[in-house]
Structure 1
Amino acid sequence: MKALSQKRRHPLAAVALLLMGLLFTGGLYAVATTVNQAKADTQSFSASDVKEGEKLFLANCATCHGMGGSGTNSGPSLVGVGAAAVDFQVGTGRMPMQMQGPQAQVKPKQFTDDQTHQLAGYVASLGAGPSIPAAEYLDEKGDAAKGGELFRVNCAMCHNAAAAGGALTRGKFAPALAGVSGQHIYEAMVTGPQNMPVFNDANITPQNKRDIITFLKTIEANGSPGGADLGSLGPVSEGLFLWIAGLGVIIAFTIWLTSRTS
């Protein structure tokens, strides 16, 4: 007993306990993350989808992303990004990229919906990742008020409170969200494209994502009931407009006074 008591008082005992605690915590986090990803990867694809998707990938994507999606110096690995990332990037025309730049630009999509589905199926087969969202979360029948609150807390600092988009650093930007489908909005939240952070189910639940989509579609449908929105950029554009318009009125009034005097 005396020897055991002495070992407990060993100077390295606290360090050993700390390391054990860190390993235990890290293990729990890894398990939780794996479970979350596996749960998200529920979209089913047929063997034919995967096979055709592989052919499309080799012909159009492997140059940058490598054989088997392992990545190259020109493009990141796609192992574990999931079907949602492919559906978003390819479905919005961002991929394949037209040219190198700070971020991928939206352009007319180069693949049909069926081809996009096949590509998503192939990439999903490379590793577990976020799946294409279920239709129940895209019905735009959530709580718009709650969605607005969540959007202002989590998204408005980049996308603007009116979802009109905004500039970021080094030529990057947060795009406007008007005209973007609910499916692509959901996929962007779970995959974090470009500079956007990932909002997995632990950050924002699927129901909350549904609420955010409902809010965005509600403000898009309502338009600007107060008149010209001036780009929905807030006090910057409004102040600039008042300054220019006010200055113009003053100049015009000054000209009118001088002409009356003469």
Structure 2
Amino acid sequence: MTRITAWRRHPLARYAVLILALALVGMVYAAFVQAGKPADAALAAGKVDDVAEGRSLFEKHCMSCHGTNAQGTTTAPTLIGVGAAAVDFQMSTGRMPAAAPGPQAPRKPPAPWVNETTTRQIAAYVQSLGGGPQVPGAEQVDPKLGDAGKGGELFRANCIQCHNWVGAGGALTQGKYAPNLNEATPTQIYEAMVTGPQAMPVFNDTTITPEEKRSMIAYITQVREQRDPGGFALGRIGPVTEGLVAFVVGIAALALAAIWITAKKRQKS
């Protein structure tokens, strides 16, 4: 007892107790965080079992490119921290699994084993690895709740440089391109903005708020339904196509006119 009492009265005893208490709190906190990560991710995806099922699917279909623990390889990037939204976007649009390596994965029909359930399960597993943007809810992407006028302003300020003013898409550098948005669902449009797939930048909530994203979705879905009463749409790509058609039609008209004038002169002579 005398020795213990002496230790308690030592000048460094209070610091030792403080360090011990902090270490204990840190270990308890770390245990709770590690235990809660998969559960939180699965809860966001719908089922607690989704993480385990998602890992099994990942090992079967994705591990060969993305690595054993989704850490990435020379073939494919890391999936740690990309979030469930990125997985849902890539798999629902058929971009993943990729058919072949290339500068950009094209949109295509999903693989036979890909469906709503398997996509949700792999998304839950990837979400458990390091967080990231989650799949948006129905209200977040409902075009009826957005302001199409405001969305058009935002779209023209941030997106038309690549996607064209009506979302028809366009070519980029090094074999990449901005895809046509006419086939994208409101959920996929939102997920693309928060995850930045391919060459697209990330528009997080501090850059474009969720309400503004919803308004942009309202504009994109509205403009695709517009008609072209003034003439041919020509793909709605813009002045490049219009100029090409004007040049080809104009040259053809001039050539035909020249042939007709020459033929008339020969008849007179």
Query: Shorter-chain TM-score: which interval?
Result: 0.7 to 0.9
Q: Is the 8 A contact 2:42 2:51 kept in 1?
A: no
Give SS of 1:184's match: helix
Q: Confirm whether residue 203 of structure 1 aligns to residue 207 of structure 2.
A: yes
Equivalent residue, structure 2, for 1:105: 106
Compared with structure 1, are the counterparts of its residues 218 and 225 closer, same or farther at alpha carbon in structure 2 (3 Å cutoff)? farther
Query: What runs of 5+ residues in structure 1 fail to find an aligned partner?
Result: 1-39
Compared with structure 1, are the counterparts of its residues 51 and 194 closer, same or farther at alpha carbon in structure 2 (3 Å cutoff)? same
Q: Is the 8 A contact 1:41 1:82 kept in 2?
A: no
Q: Confirm whether residue 155 of structure 1 aligns to residue 159 of structure 2.
A: yes
Equivalent residue, structure 2, for 1:134: 137
Q: Which amino acid aligns with 2:44?
A: Q
Q: How many angstroms does 1:86 deviate by?
A: 0.0
Q: Confirm whether residue 226 of structure 1 aligns to residue 230 of structure 2.
A: yes
Q: Confirm whether residue 43 of structure 1 aligns to residue 47 of structure 2.
A: no
Q: How many angstroms does 1:52 deviate by?
A: 1.1
Q: How many angstroms does 1:134 deviate by?
A: 1.3
Q: How many angstroms does 1:260 deviate by?
A: 1.3
Q: Is the 8 A contact 1:80 1:124 kept in 2?
A: yes
Query: CA separation in 2, counterparts of 1:229 and 1:252?
Result: 26
Alignment TM-score, normalising by the size of structure 1: 0.82
Give SS of 2:180's match: coil
Q: Is the 8 A contact 1:81 1:128 kept in 2?
A: yes
Q: Is the 8 A contact 2:172 2:178 kept in 1?
A: yes
Query: CA separation in 2, counterparts of 1:191 and 1:42?
Result: 21
Q: Is the 8 A contact 2:42 2:49 kept in 1?
A: no
Compared with structure 1, are the counterparts of its residues 161 and 257 closer, same or farther at alpha carbon in structure 2 (3 Å cutoff)? same
Using the TM superposition, name which of 222-231 and 129-138 deviates more: 222-231
Q: Which amino acid aligns with 1:106?
A: R
Equivalent residue, structure 1, for 2:254: 250
Give SS of 1:248's match: helix
Equivalent residue, structure 2, for 1:117: 120
Q: Is the 8 A contact 1:140 1:214 kept in 2?
A: yes
Q: Deviations over 1:216-242 (max 9, x none)?
A: 000111133333121222111111111
Equivalent residue, structure 1, for 2:23: none
Equivalent residues in 2 for 1:166-181, closer than 5 Å:
166-181=170-185
Using the TM superposition, name which of 227-236 and 100-109 deviates more: 227-236
Compared with structure 1, are the counterparts of its residues 234 and 139 closer, same or farther at alpha carbon in structure 2 (3 Å cutoff)? same
Equivalent residues in 2 for 1:69-84, closer than 5 Å:
69-84=70-85
Compared with structure 1, are the counterparts of its residues 42 and 252 closer, same or farther at alpha carbon in structure 2 (3 Å cutoff)? farther
Query: CA separation in 2, counterparts of 1:166 and 1:261?
Result: 48
Equivalent residue, structure 1, for 2:26: none
Query: CA separation in 1, counterparts of 2:229 and 2:141?
Result: 26
Q: Which portions of structure 1, spanning 4 or more consecutive aligned residues, are displaced by more than 6 angstroms?
A: none
Give SS of 1:225's match: coil
Query: CA separation in 2, counterparts of 1:94 and 1:181?
Result: 15
State the identity %: 51
Q: Is the 8 A contact 2:45 2:120 kept in 1?
A: no
Query: CA separation in 1, counterparts of 2:158 and 2:194?
Result: 13
Query: CA separation in 2, counterparts of 1:42 and 1:129?
Result: 14
Query: CA separation in 2, counterparts of 1:67 and 1:223?
Result: 50
| Number of residue pairs matched by the alignment | 223
Q: Is the 8 A contact 1:191 1:198 kept in 2?
A: yes
Query: CA separation in 1, counterparts of 2:229 and 2:183?
Result: 18
Equivalent residue, structure 1, for 2:34: none
Q: Deviations over 1:2-57 (max 9, x none)?
A: xxxxxxxxxxxxxxxxxxxxxxxxxxxxxxxxxxxxxx998343221111111110
Compared with structure 1, are the counterparts of its residues 188 and 166 closer, same or farther at alpha carbon in structure 2 (3 Å cutoff)? same
Query: CA separation in 2, counterparts of 1:168 and 1:232?
Result: 18
Give SS of 2:44's match: coil
Which is greater in Rg? 2
Q: Is the 8 A contact 2:45 2:121 kept in 1?
A: no
